[in-house]
Amino acid sequence: MVDQATVRTTIAASPQACFAAAIDFERYPDWASDIKMARVLSRDDEGRAVDVEFRAAAMGRSTTYTLRYFYGSNPSRLAWRLQSGDIARRLDGEYEFLPVSSDPSSTEIVYHLAVDLSVPLPGFVKRRAEARIVRTAVNDFTAYVESGA
């Protein structure tokens, strides 16, 4: 069963700073507490990462997965789809960074995630793991970007 979550928050950074941090995959281990390694496997003609392999702590063990990133024509949106993974059948999502009209130095982040784990887990364990992913993607990301890193 696919579980989905969407979170919105406003942070004190420009959409450009947010997008730049989101596509700096090699730096994810610096701010995403569960990410232990991020390695770009391929890039597009503009030099942006397309396929990225991650190693992360998950449910008391290490997991490895590869995400494919999509940039499209919207410069404020970054989407991804799971290409391969050892504990998930689906790990798809997107960040959207929207300017706040009343404060150009702030951004509304919309984060969406769809997860389908391939390992059977009790519902409460699954929800806890998914909440941790979302918390890292929003709270840890916010702290990292607002620190000016």
Q: What is the structure's pLDDT at 14?
A: 93
Q: Name the range with the highest mean pLDDT among 48-57, 68-77, 134-143.
A: 48-57
What pLDDT does residue 22 have? 95
Q: In what order do the strands lie in the sheet with 35-43?
A: 3-11, 103-117, 88-100, 77-85, 61-70, 49-58, 35-43
Domain residue extents for the chain: 3-146
Question: For residue 124, is pLDDT > 80?
Answer: no
Confidence bin at 126 (pLDDT 50/70/90): low
Range in 5-19, 62-76, 101-115, 134-148 the model is least confident about: 134-148
Q: What is the DSSP string of 39-106?
A: EEEEE-TTS-EEEEEEEEEETTEEEEEEEEEE--S-TTEEEEEEEEESSEEEEEEEEEEEEETTEEEE
Name which CATH class applies to 3-146: alpha beta
Full-model pTM: 0.85
